[in-house]
């Protein structure tokens, strides 16, 4: 899939005429167990109820076997409640979703789009947010956005194995909380909210996502590390305060991985010590001249040579 996320088309429920009552014929059909799994018959006799369920099966990518079982469970509950599923209460949806009938992610997509139940995260023992997001928004768009974000994070130095450990789950969570899977719709507010009341591990992962979004130009800058990672403060003794200010500004806005950023931050501070000692009139990046650069390169070269000779 090479299209951009702007090509994503949400599932359109307005195309269906959602009736508010059921006819006696519909109730009779729905009460018959053999009919509830006969899609050809159901499509000809109760197309108003069946069409959106079949369209959502295609949209979600659920297997035909699980789709038939799941739709049968929905139709059985329609016959029990005497109401179309788009009129069910939240508790009625929860009752169906916690049952073991069919595919829970597909049932969640029906609840989401047709029943107004937009918080599958409220399910008891909710797991695998990436699976739910894929069923609700479509597997293709989930994969596409996952690839885009993964590519951006790899460009910042994140290893593929590391991304496998957190990216799918946190991306699915953010998509569900956002109500839109497109990365371009993700905001700083969404990510900050996503960090609240979460484990440190999840909060860290959301912070990493913000670095990818910043690298893609979706966010103006990553969300601040404060709140999910503790910087190990380093000595600034003997460094010009102006240089320290520039170093901290770089640390707070860089899109590099946290560990890489901290290492580079340490190097920048050591550079400040050298500047104060060897180039005291150079306190900001704009003050660097060609001679400053040459002197610095020579100093680094000498320091590298000493390390190599000492076996460091």
The 3 state secondary structure assigned to 194-223 is: HHCCCCHHHHHHHHHHHHHHHHCCCCCCCC
Q: What is the pLDDT along the chain (312 residues), one digit of tens a residue?
A: 344 565 778 899 999 998 899 999 999 999 999 999 999 999 999 999 999 999 999 999 899 999 999 999 999 999 999 999 999 998 899 889 888 788 999 999 999 999 988 888 777 667 889 999 999 999 999 999 999 999 999 998 888 888 888 899 999 999 999 999 999 999 999 998 888 767 777 888 898 999 999 999 999 988 865 444 445 567 788 888 888 888 877 877 676 766 777 788 888 888 988 898 888 888 788 888 888 898 888 888 776 544 334 444
Nearest CA among 117, 63, 113 for reference residue 95: 117
If 0-12 CB within 10 Å is exposed, 13-18 middle and 19+ buried, where does residue 74 land? buried
Going from the C-alpha of 156 to that of each of 52, 166, 202, 259, the distances in angstroms are 43, 16, 20, 11
Query: Are the CB atoms for 211 and 222 separated by under 8 Å?
Result: yes
Write out the two tokens for 173. 């969570």
DSSP-assigned letter for residue 63: -
Given the structure tokens 């179309």, which residue do they identify?
A: 84
So what's the pLDDT on residue 146?
96
Nearest CA among 5, 124, 113, 143 for reference residue 53: 113
So what's the pLDDT on residue 186?
96
So what's the pLDDT on residue 279?
86
In whole angstroms, what separates CA 293 from the centre of its chain? Answer: 42
So what's the pLDDT on residue 197?
64
So what's the pLDDT on residue 57?
94
- CB atoms < 10 A from the CB of 158, how many? 20
Distance from C-alpha of 116 to C-alpha of 108, rounded to nearest angstrom: 10
Going from the C-alpha of 152 to that of each of 156, 169, 172, 206, the distances in angstroms are 7, 17, 17, 14
Please state the length of the chain.
312
Torsion of CA 75, 81, 84, 87, to 10 degrees: -140
Query: Are the CB atoms for 22 and 158 separated by under 8 Å?
Result: no
Distance from C-alpha of 130 to C-alpha of 19, rounded to nearest angstrom: 32
Write down the domain spans for the chain. 5-126, 139-215, 241-309
Nearest CA among 121, 161, 113 for reference residue 13: 113
Distance from C-alpha of 83 to C-alpha of 145, rounded to nearest angstrom: 37
Q: What is the pTM of this model?
A: 0.69
Distance from C-alpha of 243 to C-alpha of 140, rounded to nearest angstrom: 47
So what's the pLDDT on residue 246?
82
Distance from C-alpha of 30 to C-alpha of 48, rounded to nearest angstrom: 13
So what's the pLDDT on residue 125?
66
């Amino acid at each position: 899939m090479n299209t951009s996320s702007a090509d994503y088309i949400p599932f359109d429920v307005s195309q269906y005429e959602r009736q508010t009552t059921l006819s006696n014929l519909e109730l009779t059909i729905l009460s018959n167990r053999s009919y509830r799994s006969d899609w050809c018959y159901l499509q000809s006799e109760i197309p108003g109820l069946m069409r959106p369920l079949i369209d959502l099966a295609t949209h979600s990518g659920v297997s035909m076997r699980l789709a038939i079982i799941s739709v049968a469970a929905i139709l059985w509950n329609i016959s029990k409640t005497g109401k179309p599923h788009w009129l069910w209460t939240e508790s009625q949806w929860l009752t169906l979703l916690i049952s073991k009938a069919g595919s829970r992610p597909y049932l969640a997509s029906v609840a989401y789009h047709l029943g107004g139940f937009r918080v599958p995260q409220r399910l008891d023992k909710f797991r695998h947010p990436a699976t739910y997001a894929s069923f609700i928004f479509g597997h293709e768009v989930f994969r596409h956005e996952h690839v885009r974000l993964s590519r951006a994070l790899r460009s910042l130095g994140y290893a593929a194995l590391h991304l496998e450990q957190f990216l799918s789950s946190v991306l699915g969570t953010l998509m569900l909380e956002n109500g839109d899977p497109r990365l371009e719709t993700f905001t700083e507010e969404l990510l900050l909210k996503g960090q609240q009341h979460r484990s440190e591990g999840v909060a860290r992962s959301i912070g990493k996502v913000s670095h990818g979004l910043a690298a893609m130009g979706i966010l103006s800058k990553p969300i601040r590390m404060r709140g999910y990672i503790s910087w190990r403060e380093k000595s600034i003794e003997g460094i010009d305060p102006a240089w320290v200010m520039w170093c901290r500004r770089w640390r707070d806005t860089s899109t590099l991985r946290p560990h890489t950023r901290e290492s580079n931050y340490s190097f920048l501070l050591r550079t400040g010590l050298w500047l104060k000692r060897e180039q005291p009139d150079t306190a900001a990046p704009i003050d660097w001249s060609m001679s400053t650069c040459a002197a610095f390169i020579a100093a680094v070269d000498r320091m590298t040579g000493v390390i190599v000779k000492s076996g460091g």
